Structure 1
Amino acid sequence: MTRDLTTLDLDELRAVTVDQPYPLLFVTVSGAHLYGFPSRDSDVDLRGAHLLPIEEVVGLRTGRATIDADWLSDGVEIDLVTHDAFKFFRLLLSRNGYVLEQLLSPIVVSSSAAHEELVALGPETVTRHHAHHYRGFAHTQRRLHGKTGELKPLLYTFRAFLTGIHLMRSGELSAHLPTLTGLVPEAPGYLAELIEAKAAGEHRASAGLAPPTAVIDADLAVLERALDEAREATRLPERPGAEDAVHDLLVRLRTGR
């Protein structure tokens, strides 16, 4: 019988990260736990960044830019994916909301001085073009819901739109769906019930729980228009303001200055 992983044991999660082949800049929790709708049987998604030694960057034999490892603990899968600092920093500066959420996740498994510095720079990496990331992610998850009929991708769809809208309007990142329902007035009222239903099972079907497809499509259309309007009206810049600072941080990390 699997444990109830709607809550997390951070000490246990730290223990599974200690034997990584390269120093870790940070590890945080992403996925359904970050988004505020974990199930009793949810996988635990750990994400972060590692630092390759300089000889594995400038030499002929280069190190692994991405490392993916997984464990099974009491029947629950724990997945750890980390990118080398160069790759992570480049993604961060390229309107990738996914890595921005990993960086700014409040559920921190391990940290470092470099992580703290990067978190402080995080708001300066946000641009108006992050709206494209969230629109695209929402459409991908909506198609997935059409194929699987599961609650999870449906909640991911709403979460992506609401995160994008709030980010464009406020410049602040929130990936937590229960919080977003109170921050974005256009959020439909039935989301709280769907979040509660999802807690019972990772692959629970939405049939009989979610509103009819026509209602969902209409509500998602409202959110997509709101995202487009928020992007047009946002004060967020065209380009990230932290490019030089992120570059300098990477140079210091590589050279040990």
Structure 2
Amino acid sequence: MCKHNGYVLEQVFSPLVAHGADFLVQLRPLAQKCVTKHCYNHYRGFLHTQRKLFEKETEKRAKTLLYAYRVALTGVHLLETGEVQTHLPTLNERFRLTFIPELIARKANAEFGTLSAVDVAFHTRQLDEWETRLNAAYEASALPTEPPAEELDRFLIELRLPIA
């Protein structure tokens, strides 16, 4: 969590918990302090990776495109609000991208899961705009730049002491 890793934060704040709910109750308040401005680097890099995967596909899939949007919207939302939210329909309640529900429906239907050339051009422009918005959110973000490393260290020591 000290390395500005959005993936780790997404796991900590996931509503899907198979085991360790009591531990997460203790960890989440501290993890919230680890939501930093530099999480941007994770989401920017992840978005670039998703876009490259989309570009390489011979048949452009709605699933890959949705993942790129999920990453972009999660990053912008995190930088603007300090909240880790990865659920695309929930994110879209805020951002109101009219095409997201259609893409979700396409993904669910294998027959219509691919995109036309017109769709690809449109979504390439959209992702360019979201990348610009991600950059702007980083520049404007009031989030702290560093997580509380010493506080995390104390938390781990206290967690391990009863075991020792």
Q: 1:145–1:151: 8 Å Cα contact kept in structure 2?
A: no
TM-score normalised per structure 2: 0.88
Instruction: Describe the superposition over 1:34-93 as per-residue Cα deviations: whole angstroms up to 9, x where unpaired.
Output: xxxxxxxxxxxxxxxxxxxxxxxxxxxxxxxxxxxxxxxxxxxxxxxxxxxxxxxxxx11
Q: 1:137–1:160: 8 Å Cα contact kept in structure 2?
A: yes
Instruction: Describe the superposition over 1:140-199 as per-residue Cα deviations: whole angstroms up to 9, x where unpaired.
Output: 0111122232222211101111011111111111101011112125xx311111112212
Instruction: Describe the superposition over 1:85-106 as per-residue Cα deviations: whole angstroms up to 9, x where unpaired.
Output: xxxxxxx111110110000001
Paired residue secondary structure (2:103): helix
Paired residue secondary structure (2:144): coil
Q: 1:165–1:184: 8 Å Cα contact kept in structure 2?
A: no
Q: 1:118–1:246: 8 Å Cα contact kept in structure 2?
A: no
Per the TM alignment, residue 245 of structure 1 is displaced from its structure 2 partner at its CA by 2.2
Match of 1:116 among 21, 25, 28: 25
Partners of 1:111 and 1:219 in 2: CA distance = 39
Number of aligned residue pairs: give it.
Answer: 161
Tell me what 2:114 maps to: 206
Look up the equivalent residue of 1:207 and give its one-letter code: L
Instruction: Describe the superposition over 1:110-156 as per-residue Cα deviations: whole angstroms up to 9, x where unpaired.
Output: 22433211112121001111111111111101111222322222111
Output aligned runs, 1:69-148, within 5 Å. Answer: 92-148=1-57
- The answer as to 2:146 corresponding to 1:239 is yes
Select the structure with the greater relative contact order (CA < 8 A; seq sep ≥ 6).
2
Output aligned runs, 1:180-219, within 5 Å. Answer: 180-184=91-95, 188-201=97-110, 205-208=113-116, 211-219=118-126
Q: 2:106–2:113: 8 Å Cα contact kept in structure 1?
A: no
Look up the equivalent residue of 2:106 and give its one-letter code: A
Structure 2: stretches of 5+ with no match in the other structure: none
Tell me what 1:225 maps to: 132
Look up the equivalent residue of 1:173 and give its one-letter code: V
Q: Which structure shows the bigger proportion of residues in strand conformation?
A: 1
Cα 1:252–1:221 change in 2 (3 A) is: same
Structure 1: stretches of 5+ with no match in the other structure: 1-91
Q: 1:138–1:157: 8 Å Cα contact kept in structure 2?
A: yes
Q: Which structure shows the bigger proportion of residues in helix conformation?
A: 2
Cα 1:190–1:211 change in 2 (3 A) is: farther
Partners of 1:168 and 1:239 in 2: CA distance = 14
Cα 1:153–1:205 change in 2 (3 A) is: same
TM-score normalised per structure 1: 0.58
Two-structure CA RMSD over aligned residues (Å): 2.0
Output aligned runs, 1:2-13, within 5 Å. Answer: none
- The answer as to 2:82 corresponding to 1:171 is yes
Partners of 1:162 and 1:142 in 2: CA distance = 14
Question: How much identity, in percent, do the aligned residues show?
Answer: 39
